[in-house]
């Protein structure tokens, strides 16, 4: 019996050993593709009935589909800070109770004291590129080139910003501007397109921006194929206002939102093909995910959280659990992963794969996912902390999630409400958070409250970087 078991496990051992052996010969490349406001239910592989994402679906078949993967915050700026630093954004001051994100008149950005994933990988001589939406500070000192990236092509904040006040006045305010399709014109959103540190286009032509992001990614791959590289491709869509190229418009049964998502998928297909053409597909790890849940305020212009409750801006599952795919043919063990993971874990995971020691002068909230990726072994992540601004609203421990505070998305789904005792859900049984089981499980609440106490005792928030505006 033991001999049979050994021979059954031998192919997996050989696969894992081979994967790590190849890493020593040639470092693994990394590409992180980060959609903006894409919901958990917006890919065909995650259950959407009419949006077709064949390239991502193929990545799911060849790689890993993570069904319980989370962001560090449920809105743009803090979520991006969490991914790039491997830390809860409250630690770096990149979350705030006054302003949720950075704006064109914000004075600050990601502090220089933070170590970005790009800066970390530069220690192993990686070539690095940020393509797409940055949203961690628009002033030169805060842009990607000053944060470890060798190349930048993208917009400095959200695609709905920089609207002239005269346009708001004429159109009746922000909501009316976005909700009326006749108002969705490039000139109404004066967001700049930046290459490295220079504005090269204003307003950015958002009709072609998704395609151009994909093209820039492919150029960087081809120009740096002889060296290890890290590409952070942060699409500025499907955040409203929605734009798509002439070739993509009218193609999706889901309407304009579907056109946008399907064009992103087409670009991903082109990137995968480029990796294959350059012989890099067996030596590149691609991760696809979203910065937060769907902006349901905009109804059909926003996405779907699928079976999850609520969306962007909330600490309900629909706000912070995101569709995620890991792809590295013949490197990672294919399958569906139901264990927890977070965008913050990419920092530790990539560092481990690249053989770079972690910084020892700061607290990281990042866990190593490589045991799950390469060996399908359990990782060390058993807890998740759900912050809204600087306040801890909820905590997940194993299958259980306790809500100490709940609040709707920008006034939707009810106002701020504190819960004593906390609401408690078993997310493995009830991912929609419908059935409060707090009364039946006081022992779980007691354990989670002890976790909260320990966490708060060690938490030192960074100075608020979002509050200062010109």
pLDDT of residue 4: 39
pTM: 0.94
116: which DSSP letter?
Answer: P
The active-site residue, picked from 48, 130, 135, 367, is 135
Q: Is 17 among the residues known to form the active site?
A: no
pLDDT average, residue stretch 51-75:
98
Confidence bin at 410 (pLDDT 50/70/90): confident
- The mean pLDDT value for 247-256 works out to 98
* Mean pLDDT of the region 334-349: 98
Q: Is the pLDDT of residue 11 over 90?
A: no
3 phi, psi to nearest 5 deg:
-65, -45
Share of the chain above pLDDT 90, in %: 91
Q: Using DSSP bridges, classify how beta strands 335-337 and 400-406 pair: parallel, antiparallel or unpaired.
A: unpaired
Tens digits of residue pLDDT in 435-465? 999 999 999 999 999 999 999 999 999 999 9
Domains of the chain: 26-382 (3.40.720.10), 385-458 (3.30.1120.10)
Please write the tens of the pLDDT for every residue from 270-308: 999 999 999 999 999 999 999 999 999 999 999 999 999
Contact 30, 331 (CB under 8 A): no
Exposed, middle or buried by CB within 10 Å (0-12, 13-18, 19+), for 262? Answer: buried
Neighbours of 357 (CB within 10 A): 9
Q: Which of 76, 235, 239, 348 is catalytic?
A: 76
* Cα dihedral 187, 189, 193, 194 in deg (nearest 10): 130
- Residue 411 has what pLDDT? 64
Residue 12 has pLDDT above 50, yes or no: no
The pLDDT of residue 5 is above 50: no
* 130 tagged catalytic: no
Predicted pLDDT at 13? 40
For every residue of 184-206, DSSP letters joined together read --GGG--PPEEETTEEEESS--T
- pLDDT band at residue 415 under the 50/70/90 scheme: confident
């Amino acid at each position: 019996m033991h001999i049979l078991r050994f021979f059954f496990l031998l192919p997996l051992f050989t696969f894992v050993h081979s994967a790590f052996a190849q890493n020593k010969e040639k470092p693994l490349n990394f590409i992180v593709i980060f959609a903006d406001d894409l919901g958990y239910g917006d890919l065909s592989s995650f259950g959407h009935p009419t949006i077709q994402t064949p390239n991502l679906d193929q990545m799911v078949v060849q790689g890993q589909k993570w069904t319980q993967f989370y962001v560090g915050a449920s809105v743009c700026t803090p979520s991006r800070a969490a991914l790039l630093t491997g830390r809860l954004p409250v630690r770096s001051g990149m979350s705030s109770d006054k302003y949720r994100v950075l704006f064109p008149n914000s004075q600050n950005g990601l502090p220089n004291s933070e170590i970005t994933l790009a800066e970390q990988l530069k220690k192993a001589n990686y070539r690095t590129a940020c393509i797409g939406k940055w949203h961690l500070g628009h002033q030169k000192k805060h842009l990607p080139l000053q944060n470890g990236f060798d190349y930048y092509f993208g917009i400095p904040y959200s695609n709905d910003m920089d609207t002239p006040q005269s346009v708001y006045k004429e159109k009746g305010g922000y909501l009316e501007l976005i909700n009326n399709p006749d108002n969705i014109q490039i000139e109404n959103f004066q967001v700049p397109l930046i290459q490295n540190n220079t504005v090269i286009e204003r307003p950015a032509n958002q009709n072609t921006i998704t395609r151009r992001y994909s093209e820039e990614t492919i150029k960087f791959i081809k120009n740096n194929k002889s060296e290890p590289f890290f590409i952070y491709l942060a699409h500025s869509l499907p955040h409203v206002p929605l734009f798509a190229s002439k070739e993509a418009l009218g193609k999706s049964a889901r309407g304009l939102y579907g056109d946008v998502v399907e064009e992103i998928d087409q670009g991903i297909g082109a990137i995968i093909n480029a990796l294959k053409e350059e012989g890099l597909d067996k030596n590149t790890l691609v991760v696809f995910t979203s910065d937060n849940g769907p902006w349901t305020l905009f109804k059909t212009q926003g996405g779907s959280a699928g079976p999850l409750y609520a969306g962007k801006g909330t600490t309900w599952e629909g706000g912070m659990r995101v569709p995620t795919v890991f792809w590295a043919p013949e490197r990672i063990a294919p399958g569906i992963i139901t264990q927890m993971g977070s965008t913050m874990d990419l920092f530790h995971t990539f560092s481990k794969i690249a053989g770079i020691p972690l910084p020892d002068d700061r607290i990281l909230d990042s866990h190593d996912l490589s045991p799950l990726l390469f060996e399908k072994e359990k990782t060390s992540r058993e807890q998740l902390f759900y912050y809204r601004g600087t306040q801890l609203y909820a905590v997940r421990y194993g299958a259980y999630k306790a809500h100490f505070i709940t609040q709707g998305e920008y006034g939707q789904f009810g106002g701020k409400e504190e819960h004593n005792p906390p609401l408690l859900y078993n997310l493995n049984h009830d991912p929609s958070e419908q059935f409060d089981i707090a009364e039946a499980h006081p022992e779980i609440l007691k354990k989670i409250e002890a976790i909260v106490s320990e966490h708060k005792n060690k938490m030192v928030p960074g100075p608020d970087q979002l509050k200062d505006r010109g």
